[in-house]
Chains A and B, each alone.
Chain A
């Protein structure tokens, strides 16, 4: 099946104080029908610009944007408006119409399409039920909490039966508990309605929670991409490592000359006492420089940074031992001391 979103060689240049600034340079990616696709990066990485290029709220400087095989940059203004009805978007700031009730907010995109009033009302009520806010139909957004506002925004985004739902930092203004609730709602919608979801975030937890694929964006470039499991258990790029180990790598100065390895637990148990058995079975003491276990899609994933002994033979023995363990991959961290 062809990808539902396909971005090729996308470049976006802004004029900042008369100087050109590349917000995105030569970005290519593909999103498959029905998946939840994450785009992560630190602020200023170009995430928001990228997601706005998918519905052409930002016009790309060059490159192509295909959604459902339709080349958006070639459309007339009117055709683009029609195409946008099938590409919904939710925002960090919700952006509800403050002078309309929740029900009227959800009706809004339907009104734009000229759907009859009672039909729009019916559909809107149904959608408010889907997001669990039926009883707030006649409340105004100002009377809702942040999480409730985002639910209304999601209902509004679904009103036109979109193929794609773009989420621009949709949970960044919410507390952790509400974030999880909204994410599970999005996952639920993705499963039930088959809507393809593109999630923009700076928060790893969001990606882990719902995404299957992820792209790491760094200074307008794709630093790396792949399945969430691949990228997060074993980030290969500098930008990826910065995201996965936001605290930086610890105890740097203590281990000037020793080799450092990253041990990744790939879906086995992350809690097997590897370090203990390493000490017992081959008499090597390794330094734990950092450890992080995460629950991804119900399986345990973890990474551990180990500092090997300075003695070369001991280090090699330890490396061999760890490599022989099941469900574990080992990679030497070359630039750890850099």
Chain B
């Protein structure tokens, strides 16, 4: 079985096949890589929402026509800061964030250390996603809530966020997938996971088989996340007449 596989791949022009097959058949090792691939981005997505969700809410409620206008200067600074962070390429942002990682985690290397730059990169993106979802909100419904005596906080927590839930879930799916692909890039600075394997083994050591397997697993992971996200979005949307 193993031998016929070896012959098959060697006929395709791939070198160092036995070595690669041996590496790939180490299932616990591979599963650990999958775990590393998921855990840093998912943790970063969570933290990004802790920061980005309130910011996104603020972007909508704090503007001039919002339910709780904030000083225009503050809004301008906030918008500029978010645009600034979003325009820095992730690889460069990672390096720039090193001091912060060292401050918080004491290290800049390893899978856990990538959570910091991933969060910094994702939070402004999440803020924009949340903003976009909340802008879909019907002004009339907010007005109705105000007419019932809703406070600003109640409008945010009981009207805007629940009413925009489908859009928010859809946004979170997008965020998770984007952060996952950033995470694969983080392999470059010593994070673990499939991205790192594809880069270090697959590309640098010319182990084509390992590279493709790593990429295929990544694709499957993205598919799974997207499918779950889409399903949750549709299920949570009561505006569709079912």
Contact = CB atoms under 8 A, between A and B. Distances in A.
Contacts of B166: 99
B68 to A, nearest CB: 11
Contact of B238 (A80, A108, A142): A142
Interface centre among A55, A89, A97 (most CB of B within 10 A): A97
A98 B144 CA distance: 13
B239 A95 contact: no
A266 interface: no
Contacts of B154: 112
B140 interface: yes
Contacts of B237: 99
B144 A84 contact: no
B83 to A, nearest CB: 28
A18 B141 CA distance: 28
Contacts of B240: 142
Interface centre among B147, B158, B238, B241 (most CB of A within 10 A): B147
Interface centre among A57, A95, A111 (most CB of B within 10 A): A95
Interface string A309-337: 00000000000000000000000000000
B73 interface: no
Contact of B241 (A100, A108, A143): A143
Contacts, number: 73
A99 B148 contact: no
Contacts of A99: 162-163, 165-166, 236-239
- Interface of A, secondary structure class, is mixed
B151 A88 contact: no
A111 B158 CA distance: 10
A187 interface: no
B148 A95 contact: no
B148 A98 contact: no
Contacts of A111: 158
Contacts of B162: 97, 99-100
Nearest to B144: A95
B163 A98 contact: yes
A234 to B, nearest CB: 36
A213 interface: no
Interface string B219-242: 000000000000000001111111
A83 B140 CA distance: 20
Given A95-B140, A142-B241, A143-B241, A84 B158 contact: no
Given A95-B138, A99-B162, A85 B148 contact: yes
B140 A160 contact: no
B133 to A, nearest CB: 13
- Interface of B, secondary structure class, is helix
A112 B144 contact: no
Contacts of B239: 98-99, 140, 142
A82 interface: yes
Interface residues of A, number: 30
B156 to A, nearest CB: 13
B238 A98 contact: yes
Interface centre among A101, A140, A166 (most CB of B within 10 A): A140
B159 A97 contact: yes
A301 B74 CA distance: 62
A95 B138 CA distance: 8
Interface in A140-156: 140-143
B141 A95 contact: yes
A105 to B, nearest CB: 10
A93 interface: yes
A97 B163 contact: yes
Contacts of B147: 55, 57, 84, 87-89, 166
Given A93-B140, A95-B140, A97-B141, A140 B238 contact: yes
Interface string A74-92: 0000001111110111010
B150 interface: yes
B229 to A, nearest CB: 18
Interface of A: 55, 57, 80-85, 87-89, 91, 93, 95-101, 108-109, 111-112, 140-143, 160, 166
Given A57-B143, A95-B143, 19 more contacts: A84-B147, A85-B148, A87-B147, A88-B148, A91-B140, A91-B143, A91-B144, A95-B141, A96-B144, A97-B159, A98-B163, A99-B165, A99-B166, A99-B236, A101-B238, A109-B148, A112-B148, A142-B241, A166-B147
26 contacts: A57-B146, A82-B149, A84-B147, A84-B148, A88-B148, A89-B144, A91-B140, A93-B140, A95-B138, A95-B144, A96-B141, A96-B144, A98-B141, A98-B238, A99-B162, A99-B165, A99-B166, A99-B236, A99-B237, A100-B162, A112-B150, A141-B238, A142-B239, A142-B240, A142-B241, A160-B148
Question: Which 7 pairs between the two chains have the least Cβ-Cβ distance?
Answer: A95-B144, A84-B149, A81-B149, A89-B147, A140-B238, A95-B140, A109-B148
